[in-house]
Amino acid sequence: MDAEELVESIIRALMFLAGIIGNNYLAIRSIPSRRSSISTNDVLFINLAVSNLITNYLVDLPDTIADFAGRWFLGEAYCGVFRFCADLSETSSIITTFFISAFWHQKLVGSLKRGGAPVKLDNMALVLTLLAGSWVTAFAFSTPHFFFVRVEGTNGSEDDCVDVFPDAFSRQMYDIFYLTLANAIPLTGMLIASAQIVVTLLKNHQRIRGQTEELSKDRALDGSVGTVSEQNANASTSDLQTGVAPAASSKPGQMRSGKPNSARQVRAAKSVVAVASVFLVCWLTHLLLRITNNFHTSSLLVEVASYIAASYTCIIPYIFLHGVKKLSCSCINRS
């Protein structure tokens, strides 16, 4: 193994470790202490973590070992399992990330427009049905990779696990359906949801700033601060920092009990936007590489695409953990 291959193998190993730690932690922190308190958001996070862990344990780990060994040594039988698990976890992870984005889009918009009323994705039966459908879809797209694989020599005498379809037309048709249904459509949905979240946050930020300015003018004109005005000013300043619109109320002394929950929703919504940005960079590049590989087959393109997919699974757990304040154990008392 030369220096370049050693560096690539070390990077791969570090990505594998980051993914293992992050996804295991995301799954553990999403399990509530009481079964009755589990939410659909927890289920989505657990499903995402499980999807990514399939990649970490059954794809990244053997691939990392093969990199250090300098060749594929696990045989053709596991080669099929390797390719099957790679597409299975990739498809499930993409679709689950889309569901999480849709969930937090609904929660943010629902909180602001309907006063925190339940949204469609709060329905546990609906979410479980959607997740079951995502796994069926993932299995359907991954099954061909279990059969059309082969261990062949590449880069001189080194053996590698590669996909081998019966003909070029079969491969192109598979890639067209897979990239459209399991990549392009979820990617488009995430971009739309994220754009609407950003617009909503900006509009509320501007509205809150206007309300704060009006309160400041009223205080200057009155020359004194009443109990209600002081509470509203403090609440508006706090909301300006979180991006949450204050609850409409004209009753003196009325408590704003929904604020902490709204603040958590906005924080989580911001994490969804961050994930969408990472998603766009990783999977759009991955999508373009897969399309390019249909016209110009290259082992380098396949390798780069696999690195991009691995980087996605090791980054997003930490973003979600930060978004829902579960990144450290000290957050237990604050959640």
Q: Tens of pLDDT along the chain (335 residues)?
A: 567 677 777 888 888 898 899 999 999 988 887 766 788 989 999 999 999 999 889 988 888 888 777 778 788 888 888 889 988 998 998 899 899 888 888 887 666 666 666 788 889 999 999 999 999 999 999 998 888 888 876 555 567 777 888 887 888 888 888 888 887 888 888 888 888 887 877 777 677 777 777 777 767 776 554 554 445 545 444 443 444 444 444 343 333 444 445 566 666 667 777 777 777 777 677 667 666 766 666 556 666 666 776 777 788 888 888 776 665 544 434 33
The per-residue pLDDT for 193 is 83
**List of domains in the chain:** 3-243+257-332 (1.20.1070.10)
User: CA quadruple 58, 60, 65, 69: dihedral positive or negative?
Assistant: positive
Q: Supply the pLDDT for residue 20.
A: 92
Block residue for tokens 């379809």: 165
Residue 305 CA: distances (Å) to CA of 59, 86, 144, 202: 14, 12, 19, 35
What does the alpha-carbon distance between residue 180 and residue 54 come to, in Å, rounded to a whole number? 23
What pTM, to 2 d.p., does this model score? Answer: 0.74
The answer to whether 148 touches 89, Cβ cutoff 8 Å, is no
pLDDT for the residue numbered 178:
85
The 10 Å Cβ neighbour count of residue 132 is: 10
Write the CA distances from 244 to 59, 78, 142, 203, 308, integer angstroms. Answer: 42, 51, 42, 10, 35
Q: What is the CA radius of gyration of the chain?
A: 24
At a CB cut-off of 8 Å and minimum separation 6, what does 317 contact? 19, 22, 23, 25, 26, 48, 49, 52
Distance CA 70, CA 5 (A): 9
> Which residues pair with residue 152 across a beta bridge?
160
At 3 the pLDDT is 72
Scan for tokens 């509205």, then name that residue: 207
> What is the structure's pLDDT at 315?
84
pLDDT given at position 135: 95
Lookup: tokens for 218 = 């009223």
